[in-house]
Each structure stands twice: as C-alpha cells, then as structure tokens.
Structure 1
C-alpha cells in the first residue's frame, strides 16, 4: 500500500516537473536544502554513536546513515535536470 502511494506521488511529481520547469527548480532547491539537513543529521548520528546504546549496533554500518542525503541529492539532480531541459525548451 505504501509502495503504491510513493510510486503514485513520484509519478505525479515527475509529470508536473515535465510540464512546469519552475516547479522542477523549486523541488530541486528544496531537495538540496533537505539533503544538507540530512547530512548534518547523519554526521551527528555518526559522531555520537558510541554514546547511545541503540546506535552502537550501527557502529560498523555508519555509512548507511549517509544513504539518505545521497538519495536526496540524486532526486535533486533529476529534478534539476528536468528544470534545465524544460527551460531550454521554452527558450
């Protein structure tokens, strides 16, 4: 159920991004800001991992915390590319 919702939402976002380059640029900028926040969050989790027992389990897998910002940057790149292509089509 949640997978269909995510696929549906991403599909609608990509359709809107194809139609309006301004929307793509806005989404891309928001994703870049969210990725900076996620990098800060991941760095904070990794640096205090020894102090909390729950994150001690992830000490050897601390690189997994950085997957969230990498995925967000990837989506920001996709939307940024759509915005750029849309802008070039109008010009």
Structure 2
C-alpha cells in the first residue's frame, strides 16, 4: 500500500509540474517583467555597486565581502536562480 501511495503522489506531482506552466496560475510572464517591482533586483550597467548588495557574503577565507573590495575592477556579480515563492 505504501509504495502505491508514494508512486501515486510522485505521479501527481509530475503531472502538476507538466500542466501548471500552461495554466493562468503558472503564467507569470517573463522574469524580467515579473521582478521589475522588486527594489534592487536589477542593476544598471556602469553604475556603482550598492554597499548592501554583498551584505552577509564572505570570502573563502571567512572575511566579509564589501563593495569597496571591488572598486576599480570590472566586476560581474551573479546569483544562482532559486525558487522565488
């Protein structure tokens, strides 16, 4: 019984994963449009890096990162995409 229930749950989740993006609930628009209302989500090319962007991040040796560490150096900061719900 337990295996059948687990299989049914996995299949139901798979069906939702396939079907949900094609419904009005799953459509949010392009990510650039969906997140424009989030302050600080987009940077301007050539603009100074805000101090709070790196808050809470550390170097590999444990030092806290600061925007001043990158002044005078071309820098590209990217963050891995994650689930945003």
TM-score after normalising by structure 2: 0.32
Higher normalized helix content (fraction of residues): 1
User: Higher relative CO (CA 8 A, sep ≥ 6), structure 1 or 2?
Assistant: 1
Q: What TM-score do you get using the length of structure 1 for normalisation?
A: 0.31
